[in-house]
């Protein structure tokens, strides 16, 4: 077993009628706009000291390093609250009906149940909405990995024609009067692209999930049944080697791979970003944390259940020319399948999806 392909590279990419050339240009436009309009010039990250207020508010899992906050966007509860309100505000979309939470539902571990979630005016892209679980620890965003920070990532769905289809300058002008007090309290200025991108990024960095049964088992504070223990053995390098791509504790290496979905990739994947043929059908390797809440699976949502995902990996892949070499066919007994599914179930963090902090 190798890689569960990502949902949307953290937010769905374009499926607009302008075609793939437009999609290839999206990242260049986003980065240029971010530098000139938003003012989010990349800065060396600053490790915020793990003081008690930060640790308690963000509920940093035991043994984990605190998330890294940019120099110009250190954590505060006021910034977090502003980001939360913006995350659930449908007025960020051009038609006033699509919020960030439309595609990233808290009870679904910040993913969505549709193969492709409709955007403004019902427009459809091409990719499934991926979970935002532990986005604070991701080194790159979008399926191709072409966006380096959460602050920059905010611009992609907001201005993407098949998602929110809005203009960040315009939407800030439209909402400024409603957020005057919060924006000034959080950043000392009116709501503008600088404030919006940073507040939303602060809220997303708080989505920390590390209290699944697996975590408590590893910490010695909980026990698991024999099925989970056997499944853990199958998952490990002594078994199927799933952990070569889905390494604990994040259950991803944050790398990229072609997981053999098709002989010919209909979606170019990372090739769209790099222009390298060997990156055809290559996507970010997603986290398996909260996997039970994030169906359907793969970048296009083609698999509705985890047993279907196991069936795919058991075949060894479809034989794409650039398919990852780690993919090999295998056979599981019904008992083995049940054990592996039990282990994956132990990665679900129920407290995370039920957390009242995610209530708008």
Q: Are 27 and 160 in contact (CB under 8 A)?
A: no
The CATH number given to whatever domain includes residue 166 is 1.10.760.10
Residue 15 has pLDDT above 70, yes or no: no
Do 183 and 287 fall into the same domain? no
Single residue among 157, 186, 209 that ends a domain in this structure: 209
Structure tokens at 309: 């995902």
Structure confidence by residue, pLDDT tens digits, 242-280: 999 999 999 999 999 999 999 999 999 999 999 999 999
Residue 236 has pLDDT above 90, yes or no: yes
Residue 192 has pLDDT above 90, yes or no: yes
Binned at pLDDT 50, 70 and 90, residue 3 comes out as very low
Binned at pLDDT 50, 70 and 90, residue 31 comes out as very low
Does 40 map to a domain?
A: yes
Do 178 and 308 fall into the same domain? no
Residue 186 has pLDDT above 80, yes or no: yes
- Long-range contacts: 191-194, Cβ < 8 Å, 24+? 193/37, 193/38, 193/39, 193/168, 193/169, 194/38, 194/39, 194/40
DSSP per-residue codes, 311-357: HHHHTT----TT--TT-------HHHHHHHHHHHHTT--HHHHT-GG
Question: Can you give the pLDDT at residue 10?
Answer: 33
Q: Are 115 and 301 in contact (CB under 8 A)?
A: yes
Range of the domain at 29: 20-209
Does 113 map to a domain?
A: yes
Do 168 and 217 fall into the same domain? no
Rounded to whole angstroms, the Cα distance separating 154 from 163 reads 12
Do 252 and 111 fall into the same domain? no
Do 48 and 179 fall into the same domain? yes
Do 201 and 232 fall into the same domain? no
Binned at pLDDT 50, 70 and 90, residue 126 comes out as confident
Backbone angles phi, psi at 147, to 5 degrees: -120, 120
Do 252 and 239 fall into the same domain? yes
Rounded to whole angstroms, the Cα distance separating 25 from 161 reads 13
Does 4 map to a domain?
A: no
Do 228 and 205 fall into the same domain? no
| Phi-psi label, residue 12: left if phi above 0, alpha if psi -120 to 50, beta otherwise | beta
Single residue among 209, 234, 253 that ends a domain in this structure: 209
Do 72 and 199 fall into the same domain? yes
Does 345 map to a domain?
A: yes
Q: Of the given ranges (56-65, 190-199, 308-317), which has the lowest mean pLDDT?
A: 56-65
Residue 32 has pLDDT above 90, yes or no: no
Binned at pLDDT 50, 70 and 90, residue 200 comes out as very high
Do 46 and 192 fall into the same domain? yes
State which H helix or E strand residue 257 sits in: strand 256-257
Give me the number of domains the chain comprises: 2
Rounded to whole angstroms, the Cα distance separating 107 from 293 reads 8
Single residue among 209, 232, 250 that ends a domain in this structure: 209
Q: How far is CA 38 from the centre of its chain?
A: 22
Does 3 map to a domain?
A: no
Does 122 map to a domain?
A: yes
Higher pLDDT, 226 or 56: 226
Please give the average per-residue pLDDT across 131-144, as a whole number.
95
Rounded to whole angstroms, the Cα distance separating 173 from 330 reads 56
Burial 317-343, CB ≥16 within 10 A → b, else e: bbebebbbeebeebebeeebbebbbbb
Q: Of the given ranges (49-58, 85-94, 167-176, 300-309), which has the lowest mean pLDDT?
A: 49-58
Do 33 and 173 fall into the same domain? yes
Residue with tokens 């935002």: 132
Question: Can you give the pLDDT at residue 58?
Answer: 85
Backbone angles phi, psi at 274, to 5 degrees: -90, -25
Structure confidence by residue, pLDDT tens digits, 40-84: 443 433 434 434 467 677 889 999 999 999 999 999 999 999 999
Residue 27 has pLDDT above 70, yes or no: no
Model-level pTM?
0.86
Alpha helices in the chain (DSSP H): 20-33, 52-58, 77-87, 100-103, 150-153, 155-159, 168-175, 180-187, 193-205, 213-219, 226-235, 271-274, 306-314, 334-345, 350-353
Does 125 map to a domain?
A: yes
Rounded to whole angstroms, the Cα distance separating 295 from 166 reads 28
Do 202 and 217 fall into the same domain? no
Residue 89 has pLDDT above 80, yes or no: yes
Rounded to whole angstroms, the Cα distance separating 11 from 129 reads 6
Rounded to whole angstroms, the Cα distance separating 193 from 49 reads 27
Binned at pLDDT 50, 70 and 90, residue 360 comes out as confident
Rounded to whole angstroms, the Cα distance separating 283 from 7 reads 9
Question: Can you give the pLDDT at residue 55?
Answer: 64
Closest Cα partner for 159 from 25, 30, 34?
A: 30
Does 332 map to a domain?
A: yes
């Amino acid at each position: 077993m190798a890689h569960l392909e990502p949902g949307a590279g953290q937010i769905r990419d374009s499926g607009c009628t302008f075609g793939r050339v437009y999609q290839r240009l999206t990242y260049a436009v986003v980065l240029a706009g971010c530098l000139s309009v938003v003012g989010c010039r990349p800065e060396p990250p600053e490790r915020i000291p793990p003081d008690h207020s930060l640790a308690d508010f963000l509920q940093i899992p035991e043994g984990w390093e605190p998330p890294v906050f940019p120099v110009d966007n250190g954590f505060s509860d006021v910034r977090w609250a502003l980001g939360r309100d913006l995350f659930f505000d449908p007025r960020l979309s051009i038609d006033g009906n699509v919020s960030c939470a439309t595609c990233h539902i808290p009870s679904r571990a910040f993913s969505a149940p549709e193969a492709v979630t409709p955007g403004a005016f019902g427009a459809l892209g091409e990719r499934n909405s991926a979970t935002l679980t532990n986005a604070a620890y991701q080194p790159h965003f979008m399926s191709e990995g072409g966006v380096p920070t959460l602050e920059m990532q905010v611009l992609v769905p907001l201005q993407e024609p098949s998602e929110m289809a809005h203009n960040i300058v315009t939407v800030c002008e439209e909402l400024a009067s409603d957020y005057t007090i919060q924006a000034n309290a959080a950043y000392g200025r009116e709501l503008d692209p600088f404030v919006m991108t940073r507040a939303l990024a602060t809220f997303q960095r708080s989505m920390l999930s590390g209290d699944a049964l697996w975590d408590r088992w590893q910490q010695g504070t909980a026990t698991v049944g024999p099925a989970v223990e056997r499944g853990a053995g199958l998952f490990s390098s002594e078994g199927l080697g799933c952990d070569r791509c889905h390494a604990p504790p994040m259950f991803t290496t944050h790398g990229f791979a072609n997981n053999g979905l098709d002989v010919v990739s209909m979606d170019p994947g990372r090739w769209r970003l790099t222009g390298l043929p060997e990156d055809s059908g290559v996507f970010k390797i997603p986290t398996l944390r909260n996997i039970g809440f994030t169906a359907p699976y793969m970048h296009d949502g083609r698999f509705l259940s985890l047993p279907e995902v196991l069936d795919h990996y058991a075949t060894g892949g479809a034989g794409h020319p650039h398919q990852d070499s780690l993919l090999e066919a295998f056979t599981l007994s019904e008992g083995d399948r049940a054990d592996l599914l039990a282990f994956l179930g132990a990665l679900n963090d129920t407290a995370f999806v039920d957390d009242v902090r995610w209530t708008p």
